[in-house]
Structure 1
Amino acid sequence: MPRAPTERCDRHSHKHIDMYCQNHDNVGCSTCMAVDHRLCKDTFYIPEFIQNNTYQVESRDIQTKLKEIAKTLENQANRFKQDKQRLLKRRAEILADIRKFRQEINDQLDKLEKSSIDEIESQVKCLEDKIEDGLKQLQANKSRIRSANDKLASTNTSHSEVFVYVKIGEDAANVANKYMGHAKIKSTVEDIQFQPDRTILTQIEQKKTLGILSEKPTKTADNLFQIKGNQTYNVKVKSDNASCYIRSACCMENGTIILADYDNMKLKRLHSYNYTVTDYCDLPGKPWQVCMINNTQVAVTIPSKKEVHFISLERKMKTTNKINTDFKCYGLAFANNNLYISDGNTSVYMYTLSGRKLHQFSKDQSGHKLFSNICSLAVSKDATMIYVADYFNGLIVLDNNGQVITSFNDKQLKGANYCYLTEAGSVLVSGYLSNNVLQFTCDGELIGEVIKADSEKEEIRSVCCNQQMTKMCISRYTDDNIEVFDI
C-alpha cells in the first residue's frame, strides 16, 4: 500500500490529509470528512484508493496550470501596483487642481473687492466734487455780500454813491437768497453705506467641497471605445469665405482642440468645454495636418508653400517660426524632439525642429515602395512606432528604422484618410470611402469599429480625442460643424 500523505490539514492542524471524497473530488483529513462530507457515499482512505484504482497522478499538467495561474496572479499584482502609482499620481494632480481652483476663486474675489473699492471711490469723489462746487459758490456769494457791506459802511458823503452801493447790496443779497433757494444747501451731506451681498457668503456656506470627486473606468489601449452620445458644434467664423473643411485636428493637454480649416486657410482654437471658436490664425496657404509640439505650440503643414509653420497658442494665436522643405508637405507628427513629414505620395521624412533632414522612409528592404498616397501621420511618444494612413494601402505601422511591423488593408477601411494616436496608446483611423472610424492597438491590430458608416452624412475627415479619453471629436467633408462624442 502507498504511504499515507504527511501534509497536515489547514483547519485541523493535528490531522493529516489522508482522505478523499470522490463525490466532490476533494481531499481532507478524517475530521473534514466527518464534518463536511458525512452524507457523501464515496469517501476513501487515500492509500487504499490509489491501491485499488488505476488512478494516475499527473503532476506535470498541474504544475503547468499552477505556473500559468501564478503568472496571471503576478500580472494582476503588477497591474495593482500600476493602479496604485496611477492613483497616487492622480491624487497629486487633483490636489494641484484644487489649489489652482482655490487660487481662481481668490483671484475672482480680489477682482470683486477691487470693483467694490473702485465703485466706492468713484461715488465719494462725485460727492466730494459736489460739495467742493457748493463751497466755491458759497464763497463767491460771501465775498460779494462782504464787499457790498464794506462799501456801504465806508460811504457816508455822497448820496449818489450810497444809492449805488445800496442797489449793489440788494442785488448781492437777492443772488445769494436765490442760490440758497435753488441749491437747498444743508449743513451735512447724506451718509453713504455699504451693504454686503450676503448671497455670496450663503452660497459658499452651502458648499461642502470645491467640486465633485467621481470615479471613472480607466480606458486602456485594448478596450474598444463605446459611444454614449454625441453633440454637434458649429465652428464657422465671420471671416470665413467658404464652407469649413476641417482637414485635421489635434487636442492639447488642457483639452483645447486645434482645427486646420483647409478651404478658409485658418487654424482655429476651440474652447475645451463648449467647443466654441475662441481664436483663430490666418495662414498663407491651405493647411493639411496639425500636431502638438508642446503645451503652448502646434505645427501645421502648408503643401502649396512647401512649409511647416509653428503657431504659438499663448494669448493670440500667431506664427512664430517656419521651416522649408523641398517637397509639398502633407502628413505631420512630432515625437522625441523631431518632426515626421510626408510628401503625400511615397515618402516619410524625419526632420529636426530647425529644419535639417535626418532620414527618409520610402522603400522596404527589398526595394519595394512602402506607400502610394500618404494622407496623414502619427508617431508614438518614444518615436518607436510610426503610423501611416495611406489612402490605397490602409494603415501601415513602421518601426523607427522604417521597417514594416504590420499593415491593415481591408474592406472595413476604405480610403484610409486620417490617423490619430490617443493618450492611452490606441490608434484611431478614419476611412474616407468606408465613412467610419476604426480603433487599433499600438501594434496595429484591429480592435473594432468605433463609428459606423452613415450614408446620410458627409465623409469623415479627421478624428481626435481629449487627453482624459472621455471625448472624441470628428469632422466631415465641407461641413461647418464638428461632432463630439462621449466615450
Structure 2
Amino acid sequence: MASKFESSIQRGCDFIHDFVCSPCEEDRLNTEAQYFCNQCTKYYCVNCVPVHNKLFKRHSVLDRKDVKKWAAAPGTVDVLERCERHPGEALKLICGDHDQLCCHVCVAVDHRLCSSIQHIPDVARDIRKDPGFRQLPQQVAVLRKQIEDMKNDRKKNSSLLRKTRTAIVDEIKAIRKMINGILDKMEKTTVQELDRLVTDQEMSIKKDMESCTQMHDELKNIIDDIQSKDSSGEPPLYIGFKKCEEKIKQGKEILQNMSSVVKYDLTFRKHNGIEDNLSSMKTFGVLNESNVYCKQPLISLFPRDHVFATKDYKEYNVKMSSDKDTCDIEGMCELPGGEIVITDSNNMTVKLLDQEYRVVDHCDVPRCPLDVCHIGGNEVAVCVNNDYNDTHELHFINIIKGKLVTTRKLSFSHKCYGATHHGNNLYISSDTALYVYTMTGKLVKTLNVFTMTGWRIKKRYKDKSGGDTVARIAISNDGKTIYITNYSYNELITLDNLGNKLATFTDPDLGRPTGVHVTTAGHVFVCCYDSDTVLQVDKDGKTKLATLARKQDGVYKPRALFFSSRSSSLIVGGLKDTLLVLNVR
C-alpha cells in the first residue's frame, strides 16, 4: 500500500529536472538522474544504476562530478541549442524583458513573471537577412584578432616587467652600496675624531707627569742642598729655607691645578637618529604599482566600416536638487572605470556620474563650463569661459576617491570652447581657429580653419564672416584626422594633422552641428542643435551613413555626445535635464 502511494506521488511530482532517469521515464516516473552511461547513452537514478552496473559491468558510468562530460542521448538536444544552466533541456524560448535565451525550465524558475516570452522560431524568421547576423563572422574575426593582439601585448608586458624588476634590483643594490660607502666614511671620520681626542688627552697626561717629575726632582734637590749646608752657618740655611718655601708654593699650585682634573676620560654616545631612521625605513624606497590607461577601450566589437542602428533608448535624469536652472549639457567624456563626467553650463557645475548614470559628485566652476575631454587615468580637462571679465581657462580635474578635485589651470588669451587631447598635445577651439598647445600651455601652432574656407563663406554670406566656424573637435585614434563642427554654416570639416582640408560635409539633417566624437575604431558621430538629430558619418567625413535618432526619440537641442565601447551605447546630452542613451548594434 505504501509502495502504491509513493509511486502515485512520484508520478504526480511537478519537479523539473535537468536530466531524468531513462528507465524511470519509460515507467512514467519523474526521477532526477544522477548517473550517465556513455555506451547506453542513458541516464540513471540512484535506484536504477545498480541494476545497470550488474548487467553491464564493463560500461563506463559518469556521476554528477563529471556532468559536463555527459552527452545528450540520440535525438535529444544539440550542443548549440542546449541550455547551459539545464543541459538536458533545449533552448526554445526568448525572454524579451531580459533579452535572454531560455529553456522551459528557465521560464518556469526565473521568468515566470516576465511579460515578453516568445517562441524562438517566431523571432528567428529571416535571421539570415539580419545585418547583425551577416556581420557576425566579421565581428568574431575582428574580436579574435584583438584578443590575440591583447594576449601578445600582455606577454610583452610580462617580459618588460621582468626587465623592470632587474633594473630596480640594480638600483636597490646601488643604493645599498652608496649607504655602505656613507657608513664607511662615517666610521672612518668617527675613529679619526676618537684618535685625535685620545692624542690630546695623552698629551695633557704627559705634560702633567712631566711637571710632577720636575717639581719632585727640584724639591728633592733643594732639600738635599739645605741639609748639606747644615754646618756652613745660618745665612746659607736661610737662603735655602726661602727657596724651598717658594718651591713648595709652586708645587702646591701645580697640584691644585692638576687636581681640578681628577681623571682624563672619553665617552661615546651614538646618534639615535641613525638607528631610528633606519629602523623606521622598511625598504630603500616606495614601490608604486601603476596601470596605464588609454583614453578609451582599444577593443571595439564593430569593424571600422560598420553602420550602426539604434536598438532602443533610455533617458536618465542628471538634475540635482541644488540646480537652479534646466541642465545644459555642453560636454561629456568617459573614464577608464566607466564613470561619466559631464559639464552643465546653465548651473555652472561639473558632474560625475556612475555607470548607472547617477550623479555621485559635482564641483562648481566660476563661469560657464563648456567642453570636457579625458586626459588620462582619472584626469579630465574642462573649458571654462567668463565673457564678463574676458577670462578663458582650461581646468584640470582629477577624480580622487570618488571626488572631483581641481589640480591646476591653464589660461588663454582667446576663447576656450572645445578641447581634446592626443599624445602630448591639447587641441583648443575658439570659434574661428584651432590651437595646438603642449600640456604645460605652450603654443605649438594655430590652424585658422575660417581662413581655409573663408573665400566661399564671404562670397555666399558677404558680411557674415566669422561666427562659430570651429565649435567642437575630435581626433582619430592615430592622430592623423581632425573633425570639426562648423556650427554657423552647418558643416562638418575634416582636416589632416597639418591643417589641410580633406572634406566638407553638409546634409539636411546637419542643422547647427555641435558635438562630434570619433571612436578608437574610427566611427564618427555628430549631434546637431537645430535639427535635433544624431548622425553617423563615414571616416572620411564625406557621407552620412545613418541618422540614429531624432526629436521624436528624445533628442532635444543636443550639444555633446560620446560613444561608450564598454556598453555599446551612444550617450547624448543637451538643453535637457536628462541624458539620452542609445543602445546600438
Give the TM bin, normalised by the shorter chain. 0.5 to 0.7
CA contact (8 A) 1:251 1:467 kept: no
Counterpart of 2:148 (choices 85, 88, 95) is 88
**Which is bigger in relative contact order (C-alpha 8 A, separation at least 6)?**
1
Q: Confirm whether residue 220 of structure 1 aligns to residue 303 of structure 2.
A: yes
| Cα shift at 1:218 | 2.5
Q: Which residue of structure 2 aligns with residue 342 of structure 1? A: 429
In 2, Cα distance between the equivalents of 1:420 and 1:239?
Answer: 30
Counterpart of 1:442 (choices 539, 551, 556) is 539
Q: Which residue of structure 1 aligns with residue 272 of structure 2? A: none
Q: Which residue of structure 1 aligns with residue 340 of structure 2? A: 257
In 2, Cα distance between the equivalents of 1:481 and 1:452?
Answer: 15
SS at match of 2:400: coil
Counterpart of 2:367 (choices 254, 277, 285) is 285
Query: What CA deviation, in whole Å up to 9, does each residue of 1:63-103 have, x standing for no partner?
Result: xxxxxxxxxxxxxx999986543123567999xxxxxxxxx
Counterpart of 1:377 (choices 473, 498, 502) is 473
| Cα shift at 1:469 | 5.5
Counterpart of 2:437 (choices 346, 351, 358) is 351
Q: Confirm whether residue 303 of structure 1 aligns to residue 303 of structure 2.
A: no
Q: Which residue of structure 1 aligns with residue 320 of structure 2? A: 237
| Cα shift at 1:460 | 2.1
In 1, Cα distance between the equivalents of 2:525 and 2:428?
Answer: 19
Counterpart of 1:388 (choices 484, 494, 504) is 484
Q: Which residue of structure 2 aligns with residue 468 of structure 1? A: 566
In 2, Cα distance between the equivalents of 1:434 and 1:92?
Answer: 46
In 1, Cα distance between the equivalents of 2:557 and 2:537?
Answer: 20
In 2, Cα distance between the equivalents of 1:246 and 1:80?
Answer: 36
Q: Which residue of structure 2 aligns with residue 312 of structure 1? A: 398
In 2, Cα distance between the equivalents of 1:382 and 1:430?
Answer: 23
| Cα shift at 1:238 | 2.5
After superposition, the Cα gap between the structure-2 partners of 1:457 and 1:352, relative to the gap in structure 1 and judged at 3 Å, is: closer
SS at match of 1:86: helix
Q: Confirm whether residue 431 of structure 1 aligns to residue 528 of structure 2.
A: yes
SS at match of 2:471: strand
Counterpart of 2:578 (choices 471, 481, 485) is 481
Counterpart of 1:451 (choices 536, 549, 558) is 549
Counterpart of 2:501 (choices 394, 404, 407) is 404
CA contact (8 A) 1:331 1:343 kept: yes
SS at match of 1:339: strand
After superposition, the Cα gap between the structure-2 partners of 1:254 and 1:90, relative to the gap in structure 1 and judged at 3 Å, is: farther
Q: Confirm whether residue 330 of structure 1 aligns to residue 390 of structure 2.
A: no
SS at match of 1:454: helix
SS at match of 1:329: coil
Query: What CA deviation, in whole Å up to 9, does each residue of 1:123-150 have, x standing for no partner?
Result: xxxxxxxxxxxxxxxxxxxxxxxxxxxx
Q: Which residue of structure 2 aligns with residue 132 of structure 1? A: none
- Residue type of the alignment partner of 1:236: K
Q: Confirm whether residue 361 of structure 1 aligns to residue 443 of structure 2.
A: no
In 2, Cα distance between the equivalents of 1:262 and 1:239?
Answer: 14
| Cα shift at 1:229 | 1.2
- Residue type of the alignment partner of 1:447: L
CA contact (8 A) 1:306 1:324 kept: yes
Gaps of 5+ in 2: 1-136, 155-298, 458-465
| Cα shift at 1:339 | 0.6
| Cα shift at 1:252 | 2.1
Query: What CA deviation, in whole Å up to 9, does each residue of 1:189-216 have, x standing for no partner?
Result: xxxxxxxxxxxxxxxxxxxxxxxxxxx9
Query: What CA deviation, in whole Å up to 9, does each residue of 1:343-397 have, x standing for no partner?
Result: 12x1110011101111111156697489741221111233211111111331101
Gaps of 5+ in 1: 1-76, 95-215
In 2, Cα distance between the equivalents of 1:458 and 1:85?
Answer: 39
SS at match of 2:148: helix
SS at match of 1:290: strand
Query: What CA deviation, in whole Å up to 9, does each residue of 1:299-352 have, x standing for no partner?
Result: 0111222101100012221110111110121011111111111112x1110011
After superposition, the Cα gap between the structure-2 partners of 1:472 and 1:359, relative to the gap in structure 1 and judged at 3 Å, is: same
CA contact (8 A) 1:253 1:467 kept: no
SS at match of 1:306: strand
Q: Which residue of structure 1 aligns with residue 352 of structure 2? A: 269
Q: Which residue of structure 1 aligns with residue 116 of structure 2? A: none
Query: What CA deviation, in whole Å up to 9, does each residue of 1:432-474 have, x standing for no partner?
Result: 1111011122221322211134398632222111133511111
Q: Confirm whether residue 417 of structure 1 aligns to residue 514 of structure 2.
A: yes
CA contact (8 A) 2:533 2:555 kept: no
Query: What CA deviation, in whole Å up to 9, does each residue of 1:151-182 have, x standing for no partner?
Result: xxxxxxxxxxxxxxxxxxxxxxxxxxxxxxxx
| Cα shift at 1:251 | 1.6
- Residue type of the alignment partner of 2:548: V
After superposition, the Cα gap between the structure-2 partners of 1:92 and 1:338, relative to the gap in structure 1 and judged at 3 Å, is: same
- Residue type of the alignment partner of 1:231: K
In 1, Cα distance between the equivalents of 2:558 and 2:501?
Answer: 27
After superposition, the Cα gap between the structure-2 partners of 1:82 and 1:481, relative to the gap in structure 1 and judged at 3 Å, is: closer
CA contact (8 A) 2:393 2:416 kept: yes
CA contact (8 A) 1:323 1:355 kept: yes
After superposition, the Cα gap between the structure-2 partners of 1:448 and 1:79, relative to the gap in structure 1 and judged at 3 Å, is: closer
In 1, Cα distance between the equivalents of 2:532 and 2:342?
Answer: 20
After superposition, the Cα gap between the structure-2 partners of 1:279 and 1:93, relative to the gap in structure 1 and judged at 3 Å, is: farther
Q: Which residue of structure 2 aligns with residue 34 of structure 1? A: none
In 2, Cα distance between the equivalents of 1:483 and 1:451?
Answer: 10
SS at match of 2:357: coil
The aligned length equals 288
Larger Rg: 2
After superposition, the Cα gap between the structure-2 partners of 1:93 and 1:451, relative to the gap in structure 1 and judged at 3 Å, is: farther
In 1, Cα distance between the equivalents of 2:385 and 2:479?
Answer: 24
After superposition, the Cα gap between the structure-2 partners of 1:321 and 1:278, relative to the gap in structure 1 and judged at 3 Å, is: same
In 2, Cα distance between the equivalents of 1:457 and 1:439?
Answer: 15
CA root-mean-square deviation: 3.0
Where does 1:150-161 land on structure 2 (aligned, <5 Å)?
none
After superposition, the Cα gap between the structure-2 partners of 1:470 and 1:92, relative to the gap in structure 1 and judged at 3 Å, is: farther
- Residue type of the alignment partner of 2:425: N
After superposition, the Cα gap between the structure-2 partners of 1:233 and 1:87, relative to the gap in structure 1 and judged at 3 Å, is: same
- Residue type of the alignment partner of 1:324: S
CA contact (8 A) 2:142 2:301 kept: no
In 2, Cα distance between the equivalents of 1:416 and 1:340?
Answer: 19
After superposition, the Cα gap between the structure-2 partners of 1:220 and 1:474, relative to the gap in structure 1 and judged at 3 Å, is: same
CA contact (8 A) 1:252 1:467 kept: no
Q: Which residue of structure 1 aligns with residue 330 of structure 2? A: 247
What TM-score, normalized to structure 2? 0.46
| % same residue | 30
